Structure 1
Amino acid sequence: INNKHTNTPTHHIIIEHRNTHSKTVTNMNIFIETYGCESNQYSTEIMAALLTEAGHKLTAKDNAELIILNTCALETKTEKKIITRIKELNDTNKKILIGGCLTEIQKEKIQATSQKASLMGTNSVTHIKDIVDKIKNNFKVTRIRDKPELLINQPRQRIYPYLATIQIAEGCLDTCSFCVDRTTKGSLISYEPEQIIREVQNALKDDCVEIQLTAQDIASYGRDKGTKLPSLIRKLSSIPGNFKIRLGQMNPANILPILDDLILAYNHPKIYQYLDLPVQSGSNKILKNMKRNYTKEEYQVIISSFRKKYPNITISTDVMIGYPEETDEDFGKTIDLIKEVKPDIINTYIYSERPFTKAGHAQIPPWKIKNWSIELDQLYDKIKEQKKDSWLHWHGEVTVTQKIGDAYLARNSCYIPIILKNAKLGEKQTTEIIEEKPNYYIGR
């Protein structure tokens, strides 16, 4: 037991308190509430499967005796949302288990918010049965900073039956000044290609038709093992079966050494022509301060190289607004870059200082950040307006992956979302796009 308050996360803590006035139960009704990235979705699916195997029942939140929050620590606004949710649950008779990244950096804050909540860290996922066994027998458990665990080839209860999220690595090699991933996830641990191949094969046995490869940065895959991402892509593409692969987020700095080979690896009918490439800023000064290890010009080279080979490739990017010492001139350079690159998808984040990061506190007035955000949103709307007809009347093959209400979501080879009224889950079909909407298309 370690009760000492420190400025860095402790390595391994297990604290258990027994409520001796409650009776033992045999199993529990459980609801898992997931926040954040695809890696969290991945761990939620594993926890769901392990708990079901142990005899527990996954149920709607209103019927649950235990609520598990799988949390995210990326942004302050997400943290506030989670803390508010913990306060709400604290006023109910439900048991609470908090997991995910926020427990790694805000353990004391969570414990101050709820004295009854149990906590588990990001490396405690495979211990979920033992943790819940203690909770159901009226222990309060805090288990943080276990040794890194392998989540590959664990049982899965998929959130989307025809879509498999597969994590190819844990942790990160980068030291971005604003990001908590190195603190919450640790350094890079790439899974062996054979393990990932087995995971894909298991997904295909479950009738999955879309494989989403994820990690904190998939471009760095294999650098700790003497291999590279393009080699893995080729191995996965050669697996027999009727499926498509969507590659996850990549740091531009880690694409540069493998750029030519990666572009060639994309040249396979099983690979979606989709590139998730966060730029964060168009100012080289800000990129340097962020410790992103690439320049605006290098980012442009990556985009132009991919578009030269794949003109219709879908480009998704992230932009951070309000980083410390960002000026109007710096933001103007971001606007200029976005005007030139014209990404298909832009995710905007307002900078917020996170624990255990080096970026520091931003002194930029809120009104200025709001104005910058509005300007970027307006530019994004203009880009979407310019591109809106580019897929209209397109005709070709799509893969149907999800049911949404009374309709179906399908994707074409460039990962364009197409809503269909009549379709069959898990099947490919020929479709024509007949109408465009702000963020998707209508097909028939």
Structure 2
Amino acid sequence: MEDIEDLLIGGGGGGGAPPGYRLPISAVGVKSKKKNKLKPNPDADDSSSGLFPTQNLLAPKIPGTQTIYVKTFGCSHNQSDSEYMAGQLSAFGYLLSENPEEADLWLINTCTVKSPSQSAMDTLITKCKNAKKPLVVAGCVPQGSRDLKELEGVSIVGVQQIDRVVEVVEETLKGHEVRLLNRKTLPALDLPKVRKNKFIEILPINVGCLGACTYCKTKHARGHLGSYTVDSLVNRVRTVINEGVREIWLSSEDTGAYGRDIGVNLPILLNAIVAELPPDASTMLRIGMTNPPFILEHLKEIANVLCHPCVYSFLHVPVQSGSDTILSAMNREYTVSEFRTVVDTLTELVPGMQVATDIICGFPGETDEDFCETINLIKEYKLPQVHISQFYPRPGTPAARMKKVPSAIVKKRSRELTSVFEAFTPYNGMEGRVERIWITEIAADGIHLVGHTKGYIQVLVIGHEAMLGTSALVKITSVGRWSVFGEVIETIVTKHHKTTALEDMPIQAKVPPCSNSHETCACSVEPEACACGPESCCKGPVALDEKDDSSRNIPLPEEPKRKNLVEWLLRKRKSHVPKREEGESPVVSGRKQASAGGSMSEWGVVDRILVGGILISIFTIVGLLFHLGSTTLSSS
């Protein structure tokens, strides 16, 4: 069938429904699967065509009552898209399930960076068709390769049509095939969202990129650069902070290119966002992947932002190869020398700076000499995070037509580089150091909590689940290859502190101790920190504070207004509570209050009036009771 785009009434002008809401059925281009209605045997196998079973059409459920299974492949940008789609579906009443067998419809958000990701997608699509489940495919694969055979007979949501996922799901459940692929305006940032981890907001700042890498398929899907305005991003930051988010990840196909299409740049955005972050560093900012060409002219400004107490001193800068010849063949638009300038400058200007990078082994035309230059570059810098991948030719890209390096050589180079990288011990010397960490996840072992230092070094600690979403001081007790282990000294009480029980955490937030399966949907990969290391952990004392109702999103019910003396006295007492001195640590302030709590000599005048009034009231009541009792006895 031909692609059915947004066929709006009257020729598809403006209008449309508000984000997250349905349009009338006639406003969606659909193709009814008439074969379903004509099938005499509802149990007959129709997996080859991907059509839905007849019973779905004959006995449809009420829209918004079905269960949806969402599966995401790829980068953090894809994850954010899935969270937005899940949020809209949930807001409309659909249930979300992690069990595909119990779901009424599968929604697969795809990645086109690597062959393995697309192969996994193909397998899942086949499994869905065999199970006769309605299917919606979203993400970069259908957007960049809409004519794939695997996509025949399934509904499609384009990367810039995620705000219409409810319509597509609803029509698909009715047995219609829907395709929405036209690129129009960017999806709104204030759509409903169900986060994979409630403490982490993945904030897309732009879509597409300005590059033209010869191996990259994502440009075909995400298109040219399109940036959100500074105001819209700042407003989103304010919202998520009030919702209790503790980390904000800026995400895009190339963070450094932000704003070049709308007359601003990345430093302008970063400074505007940093100005909104709580001064107690209860919410941290992580800057996403940036390619060298677009950060070179802003190195000092970026370094200043990375030094800010509320910004992780971490940046992902892909180099891809240590050979200028290969970089030219990749059309990466920078040299190895320029990559060195980026790393050297940031390392010099930012204390504790951590840089991650990516390498592609076996790019077409790569010689032994080219690969040796890559090895030497990695050995020189000994970066703590290097994502190593083999070259995968993506259909439709210039690199797919280049002469390939034999696969046996590609695999050999990948193993060799991995061996070199794994020999590094980047965290040696950290034992005994006291670090502040921000705790946002639970390790897959169910024992450790996962936190990160300001340099985004992963720290595993043992502590109560109420520490999720908090910050703590820890003493590093041992180090591993991928992370370090720490002992909690004390939690840091902040104005925006908010605790969350373990059972409230989504299952996806429990990160595996050793995983490098995180793939990106851009020209490079944004690696996840890995938590492999020694198993020994010491349990330290944990200072837990009470929940702060002021940080909750649900408004508390107002108490009835009572104009009496007691209320006036209570208000006066509250106004006399001594304020913390400017610049004073919240931990120190808490200690002062705790030490002064039992000292009556420090009570104020209002406190004494209150106590005196209570005592007088008690004596008065006792006296009245005694008087009434005496009167009753004498009269009898």
TM-score normalised by the shorter chain: which range applies?
over 0.9
Distance apart, 1:102 and its partner CA: 0.6
Among 400, 420, 425, the residue aligned to 2:461: 420
Is 1:255 the counterpart of 2:295? The answer is yes
Contact 2:306 2:314 in 1 (8 A): no
CA distance in 1, matches of 2:309, 2:151: 50
Among 145, 157, 181, the residue aligned to 1:106: 145
Among 353, 356, 369, the residue aligned to 1:329: 369
Among 17, 28, 42, the residue aligned to 2:32: 17
Q: Between Structure 1 and Structure 2, which shows a larger proportion of strand residues?
A: 1
Structure 1, gaps ≥5 residues long: 5-11
CA distance in 2, matches of 1:411, 1:339: 25
Among 386, 407, 424, the residue aligned to 2:448: 407
Q: Mapping of 1:196-275 within 5 angstroms?
A: 196-241=233-278, 242-275=282-315
CA distance in 2, matches of 1:403, 1:41: 18
Contact 2:153 2:177 in 1 (8 A): yes
Larger Rg: 2
Contact 1:34 1:71 in 2 (8 A): yes
Distance apart, 1:351 and its partner CA: 1.1
| Deviation by residue 1:131-187 (Cα, 9 ceiling, x = unmatched) | 011012221222223424324222211110111110111111111111122210111
Among 48, 60, 73, the residue aligned to 1:35: 73
Among 92, 97, 111, the residue aligned to 2:136: 97
CA distance in 1, matches of 2:188, 2:91: 16
Contact 2:428 2:479 in 1 (8 A): yes
CA distance in 2, matches of 1:271, 1:77: 34
Is 1:191 the counterpart of 2:228? The answer is yes
Distance apart, 1:44 and its partner CA: 0.6
Q: Mapping of 1:424-443 within 5 angstroms?
A: 424-443=467-486
| Residue of structure 2 in register with 1:119 after alignment | 156
| Residue of structure 1 in register with 2:405 after alignment | 364
Contact 1:105 1:355 in 2 (8 A): no
Amino acid at match of 1:25: K
Contact 2:437 2:452 in 1 (8 A): yes
Distance apart, 1:357 and its partner CA: 1.7
Structure 1 counterpart SS, 2:308:
coil
Amino acid at match of 2:285: I
CA distance in 1, matches of 2:188, 2:127: 31
Structure 2 counterpart SS, 1:108:
coil
Contact 1:210 1:245 in 2 (8 A): yes
Structure 2 counterpart SS, 1:308:
helix
What TM-score results when the alignment is normalised by the length of structure 2?
A: 0.66
Among 325, 330, 344, the residue aligned to 2:384: 344
Amino acid at match of 1:129: V
CA distance in 1, matches of 2:266, 2:160: 24
Amino acid at match of 1:47: M
CA distance in 2, matches of 1:114, 1:316: 35
| Residue of structure 2 in register with 1:2 after alignment | 2
CA distance in 1, matches of 2:431, 2:109: 39
CA distance in 1, matches of 2:170, 2:250: 32
Contact 2:66 2:95 in 1 (8 A): yes
What TM-score results when the alignment is normalised by the length of structure 1?
A: 0.93
Q: Mapping of 1:83-94 within 5 angstroms?
A: 83-94=122-133
After superposition, the Cα gap between the structure-2 partners of 1:151 and 1:332, relative to the gap in structure 1 and judged at 3 Å, is farther
| Deviation by residue 1:410-436 (Cα, 9 ceiling, x = unmatched) | 111101111111041111111111122
Contact 1:168 1:215 in 2 (8 A): yes
Give the aligned CA root-mean-square deviation in angstroms: 1.9
Amino acid at match of 1:60: E
Distance apart, 1:92 and its partner CA: 0.5
CA distance in 2, matches of 1:188, 1:75: 22
| Residue of structure 2 in register with 1:70 after alignment | 109
Distance apart, 1:388 and its partner CA: 3.4
Amino acid at match of 1:258: H
Contact 1:402 1:408 in 2 (8 A): yes
Structure 1 counterpart SS, 2:412:
helix
Structure 2 counterpart SS, 1:230:
helix
Amino acid at match of 1:58: L
CA distance in 2, matches of 1:379, 1:185: 34
**Number of aligned residue pairs:** 433
CA distance in 2, matches of 1:222, 1:372: 38
Distance apart, 1:240 and its partner CA: 4.3
Structure 2 counterpart SS, 1:157:
coil
CA distance in 1, matches of 2:298, 2:77: 24
Distance apart, 1:59 and its partner CA: 1.4
Amino acid at match of 2:411: K
| Residue of structure 1 in register with 2:94 after alignment | 56
Amino acid at match of 1:289: A
CA distance in 1, matches of 2:266, 2:244: 25
Distance apart, 1:265 and its partner CA: 2.1
Amino acid at match of 1:104: Q
| Residue of structure 2 in register with 1:298 after alignment | 338
| Residue of structure 2 in register with 1:377 after alignment | 418
CA distance in 2, matches of 1:147, 1:228: 23
| Deviation by residue 1:20-63 (Cα, 9 ceiling, x = unmatched) | 45233213100100000001111111101100111111013231
| Deviation by residue 1:74-118 (Cα, 9 ceiling, x = unmatched) | 011211111112112221132111111011233332xx3365432
Structure 2 counterpart SS, 1:107:
coil
Amino acid at match of 2:308: H
Contact 1:409 1:419 in 2 (8 A): yes
Structure 1 counterpart SS, 2:137:
strand
Structure 1 counterpart SS, 2:437:
strand
Structure 2, gaps ≥5 residues long: 5-11, 13-27, 38-53, 488-636
Contact 2:189 2:236 in 1 (8 A): yes
Structure 2 counterpart SS, 1:203:
helix
| Residue of structure 2 in register with 1:7 after alignment | none
| Residue of structure 2 in register with 1:8 after alignment | none
| Residue of structure 2 in register with 1:160 after alignment | 197
Distance apart, 1:437 and its partner CA: 2.4
Amino acid at match of 2:474: T
After superposition, the Cα gap between the structure-2 partners of 1:205 and 1:417, relative to the gap in structure 1 and judged at 3 Å, is same
Structure 2 counterpart SS, 1:392:
coil
CA distance in 1, matches of 2:421, 2:214: 26
CA distance in 2, matches of 1:417, 1:321: 27
